[in-house]
């Protein structure tokens, strides 16, 4: 099994520990100092200087009608492709970030930690198990009450680019037809998978070529017409693709927001970063089957970098669930019951309605709409809410 010594040492360093030959360190605060053993090693106690670990982040979002709002990330890599984190650590990061569900989407074609010709673009033997990351993470996810989705990333140069096959039953049949990307997608769809087009327009800095065209190509139209394309990432990592929103609206595809994370969460976004990308899922209940049903029903919303990105129908319902609006003579009182920020504009005045915040704005007799500029329902199109009388 692959072991990344540098990453292991780095994780220890983040905890304030340094491993040195002939020394051992203990973190207990109340243990008595032991007598030096004959080999000269000893125990140093410095637990009191370590930073206090925060509890897992809680992301408060009220129910939207009959639906619970679950938080997920459906584009995550581990050491079993080109990530640097073990599967169980991805589970721990997700729980720490307040997520309810994740998919580990390691590449089928690209596993640099397992040898290759210098680029890492070399398959393992086709008899290898491509479910290994899921199988290692699943017991830990169950223990921590995190929903885990079996998935892989199908990685091809553009066109057509990269796709995630989510909600697989078995990743190995997909890997078995690796030489034909159409067949890989077809095999995944036969298993009932949800196919997501990843980061359209992104350029891979390692290879200098686009990972996905910023256009709906003939190849994408082909698989779309077959019913083999179900969603598109409108936000990936640090990038927002407004044109992808239009594709989703025109073709009735789900909008996704994912991290596509390869390094550790700490190195990528820091600790419990509220701007970290995720997908909000309007699910009937907190379960695997409900998440999958919501995906195919397109009840998904991207939430990243302080932006909320989705269809008019679901953003309007989400806003009304999160924000109460009370009209008084000459005034409008807004109370945010959620942890989602809102930048509202009314009567030419822009105001920040922070998470769990409250603002009062002047309201003229002619003011009948509220614009939420960081909630996007289309290209250059913010959400508009009709105000109560």
Average pLDDT over residues 321-329: 93
CA distances from 164 to 194, 233, 389 (A): 8, 10, 46
Q: Is a pLDDT exceeding 80 seen at residue 247?
A: yes
**pLDDT of the residue at 88:** 97
Return the H-helix or E-strand segment holding 322: helix 312-322
Distance CA 285, CA 69 (A): 9
133 — pLDDT class (breaks 50, 70, 90): very high
Q: Which residues contact 382 (CB under 8 A, 6 or more apart)?
A: 371, 372, 373, 374, 375, 376
| More confident of the two residues 50 and 287 | 287
**pLDDT of the residue at 212:** 53
Least confident window among 2-6, 120-124, 241-245, 267-271: 2-6
SS3 270: coil
Mean pLDDT, the chain, integer: 85
**pLDDT of the residue at 231:** 98
365 — pLDDT class (breaks 50, 70, 90): confident
**pLDDT of the residue at 14:** 40
Angle between helices 87-96 and 132-143 (to 10 degrees): 40
Q: Which structural domains are found in the chain, ordered by start? A: 5-49 (no CATH), 68-310 (3.20.20.140), 321-386 (2.60.40.10)
Average pLDDT over residues 367-377: 94
CB 120 within 8 A of CB 112: yes
Q: What is the pTM of this model?
A: 0.84
Query: Which of 100, 124, 129 shows the shortest CA–CA distance to 111?
Result: 124
Q: Is a pLDDT exceeding 60 seen at residue 116?
A: no
Q: Is a pLDDT exceeding 60 seen at residue 205?
A: no
Average pLDDT over residues 244-258: 96
């Amino acid at each position: 099994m692959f072991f990344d010594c540098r990453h292991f040492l780095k994780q220890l360093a983040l905890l304030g520990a340094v491993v040195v030959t002939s020394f051992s360190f203990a973190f207990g605060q109340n243990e008595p100092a032991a007598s030096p053993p004959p080999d000269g090693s000893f125990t140093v106690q410095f637990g009191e200087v370590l930073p206090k670990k925060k509890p897992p982040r809680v992301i408060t979002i009220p129910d939207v009608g009959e639906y619970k709002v679950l938080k997920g990330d459906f584009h995550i890599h581990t050491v079993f492709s080109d990530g640097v984190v073990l599967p169980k650590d991805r589970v721990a990061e997700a729980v720490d970030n307040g997520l309810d569900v994740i998919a580990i989407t390691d590449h089928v074609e690209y596993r640099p930690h397992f040898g290759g010709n210098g680029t890492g673009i070399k398959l393992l033997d086709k008899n290898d198990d491509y479910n290994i990351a899921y199988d290692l993470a699943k017991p830990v996810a169950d223990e921590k009450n995190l929903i885990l989705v079996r998935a892989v990333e199908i990685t091809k140069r553009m066109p057509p680019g990269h796709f995630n096959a989510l909600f697989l039953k078995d990743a190995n049949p997909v890997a078995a037809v690796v030489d034909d990307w159409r067949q890989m997608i077809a095999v995944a769809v036969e298993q009932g998978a949800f196919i997501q087009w990843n980061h359209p327009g992104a350029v891979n800095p390692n290879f200098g070529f686009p990972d996905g065209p910023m256009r709906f190509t003939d190849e994408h139209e082909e698989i779309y017409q077959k019913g083999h394309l179900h969603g598109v990432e409108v936000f990936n990592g640090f990038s927002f693709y407004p044109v992808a929103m239009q594709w989703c609206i025109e073709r009735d595809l789900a909008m996704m927001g994912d991290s596509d994370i390869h390094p550790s969460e700490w190195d990528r976004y820091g600790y419990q970063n509220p701007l970290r990308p995720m997908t909000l899922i309007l699910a009937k209940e907190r379960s695997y089957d409900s998440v999958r049903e919501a995906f195919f029903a397109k009840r998904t919303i991207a939430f990243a970098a302080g932006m909320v990105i989705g269809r008019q129908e679901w953003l309007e319902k989400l806003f009304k669930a999160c924000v109460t609006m009370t009209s008084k003579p000459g005034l409008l009182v807004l109370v945010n019951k959620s942890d989602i920020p809102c930048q509202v504009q009314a009567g030419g005045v822009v105001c920040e309605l922070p998470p769990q915040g409250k603002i009062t704005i002047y309201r003229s007799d002619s003011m009948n709409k509220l614009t939420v500029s960081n909630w996007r329902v289309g290209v250059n199109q913010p959400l508009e809410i009709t105000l109560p009388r």
